[in-house]
Chains A and B, each alone.
Chain A
């Protein structure tokens, strides 16, 4: 393992630990917490795929997770689809919706793009709330379990596999030439186009890829918590995803994913602090953006590299 940095070795160790966790006497409560953390890991990393690599801001990630969740549950319910195809439908619809947003907003940048994505996300949330006959509105939609008798350990492993699989897929994409195109687009769109890269296509596809992963996360989440409400699509939820990605480090999908798990874990560890926890997370995110834009793990990585 000589080719790995210290941080990468650490991440591998954490992964191995994650695999054996259910067998070292961890309470179901903590497995539940970690499972939710893995949900956020998928959202934070897929968000950073778009924001950190392509430089396209989006505030619709929570809404896209909700879209995936509602589509997965409703196709299962209305079309009698089994869980796996229904999940796939959620991923596909979220991905296509992302493609649509990405294509519509090709010419928008920065705050304008941020505002447009807020609008798309909020319209979706409002529609889900309003279409009571189908979605049960804010009362919430009940979802079946992934399979009959699936317990906390099973869910934990499913989410672990989904999160690790998602991040590995993202890494594969980013290591390929497409990843290079993404980053070139982030740096300078006109310059990238002048070198023969189809900027339009990759900007739209990046959006689609990011939202498809969010759709997968949302679909799995629905079958785990088994009751979903439109509040999972709210801007407040988006704020937590942003804080997680920023604190972990939004310029790297692995760092962002770690941010998701760790913050969700800390939320439970620091329970006695009540609402103060989220205020603290907000404050830490601000400090990170200001003083350590690469986040906790990005900074740690840089520190470990420098020491060698």
Chain B
């Protein structure tokens, strides 16, 4: 393999990692604060893609506004979902909270996917991307739409890190993630923080959908595979860990990128590409359920 080919694979992996991280961070954020895995996360991502489609294709707005629109819309949707479906868990209104949380988010994914099928139809849409054409770094050639989407994604991730680190809201989110009870005694409004966390997690998924949708396609089932990748990423990094999600995404992106070219039988390697990460997920959960970096976690 030439140096250029290696660099190309590494960069491809990095771009994919950014996408994975964007989706995974939302799951991690939600799990951290609410202690639930959102099984509808892929469908929130899909809605982000359609938000972008509506803004860019139907309303003719510039692509960047597609992302902004998706963030706002999904933030609102996420907060509404938290308010109506998730809050009852923590208000003690549900008999078997663990089971309920898993099944209600899974049912939500059924609803959202088929809602999109009904409203938008099963046909793929392709809103205009932020940037078209190719970018050349010497001999290295990269599709511009991917690079632009990943760059915006990376900016969003950096922004999220800063918000979590330095703002009062971010501190509240981190405090609740670490110790719900202690956070409450220190006067943090758990209810508001929970709603905010779910909203922010959904907004991240929406942003990811709006950024990646134009690169690939916007279709109702578009969220299924990315969501599974994101589950792998968060499990790898330790459920609920924000830095873990970023590192997990970097690992998965590279592993997938190189595994496909290192395995001799290429067609087969490609066919099994999505299975490697799943095997990693099973292995991590069985051997080290707290993830590579997380600390021991109580049952979820």
Q: Which residues of A come within 8 Å of B, CB atoms?
A: 51, 55, 57, 59, 104-105, 107-112, 114-116, 118-120, 122-123, 126-127, 129-130, 132, 235-236, 239-240, 242-243, 246, 274-279, 281-283, 285-286, 289-290, 293
Contact between chains at B271 and A126 (CB < 8 Å) = yes
Contact between chains at A279 and B118 (CB < 8 Å) = yes
Contact between chains at A112 and B118 (CB < 8 Å) = no
B64 at the interface (CB under 8 A from A): no
Contact between chains at B272 and A126 (CB < 8 Å) = yes
Contact between chains at B103 and A235 (CB < 8 Å) = no
Beyond the given A57-B102, A278-B110, could you list 4 further A-B residue pairs with CB under 8 A, ordered by the A residue number?
A: A112-B300, A122-B275, A130-B271, A285-B107
Collect the chain B residues with CB atoms within 8 Å of residue A281's CB.
Answer: 110, 114
Collect the chain B residues with CB atoms within 8 Å of residue A105's CB.
Answer: 286
B268 at the interface (CB under 8 A from A): yes
Contact between chains at A286 and B85 (CB < 8 Å) = yes
How many pairs of A and B residues are in contact by the CB < 8 Å rule? 143
Q: If A110-B98, A275-B114 touch, does A282 touch B235 (CB 8 Å cutoff)?
A: no
| B33-46 interface bits toward A, Cβ cutoff 8 Å, 1 = contact, 0 = none | 00011010000000
Collect the chain A residues with CB atoms within 8 Å of residue B99's CB.
Answer: 51, 55, 57, 110
Q: Chain B at the A interface: mostly helix, strand, loop or mixed?
A: helix
**From A111, A126, A283, contact of B275 by CB (8 A):** A126
- Residue in A129, A235, A246 whose Cβ sees the most chain B Cβ within 10 Å: A235
Q: Which residues of B come within 8 Å of A, CB atoms?
A: 36-37, 39, 85, 88, 94-96, 98-104, 106-115, 117-118, 122, 221, 224, 228, 231-232, 235, 239, 268, 271-272, 274-275, 278-279, 281-282, 285-286, 289, 299-300
Q: If A119-B282, A126-B271, A236-B224 touch, does A114 touch B102 (CB 8 Å cutoff)?
A: yes
Chain A min CB distance to B229 (Å): 11
Collect the chain B residues with CB atoms within 8 Å of residue A236's CB.
Answer: 110, 113, 221, 224
Instruction: Give A240 to B112 CA distance when docked, in angstroms.
Output: 13
Collect the chain B residues with CB atoms within 8 Å of residue A104's CB.
Answer: 282, 286
Q: If A111-B37, A279-B117 touch, does A126 touch B274 (CB 8 Å cutoff)?
A: yes
Collect the chain A residues with CB atoms within 8 Å of residue B107's CB.
Answer: 239, 242-243, 246, 282, 285-286, 289
Contact between chains at A114 and B281 (CB < 8 Å) = no
Contact between chains at A116 and B100 (CB < 8 Å) = no
Closest B residue, CB atoms, query A282: B111
Q: If A111-B101, A116-B281, A123-B278 touch, does A279 touch B115 (CB 8 Å cutoff)?
A: yes
Q: Can you list 30 A-B pairs with a CB-CB distance of less than 8 A?
A: A57-B103, A104-B286, A107-B289, A110-B300, A111-B300, A114-B39, A114-B102, A114-B106, A115-B231, A119-B228, A119-B232, A119-B279, A119-B281, A123-B282, A126-B278, A130-B272, A239-B107, A239-B110, A242-B103, A243-B110, A275-B118, A276-B118, A277-B114, A282-B110, A282-B112, A282-B115, A283-B111, A285-B111, A286-B85, A290-B85
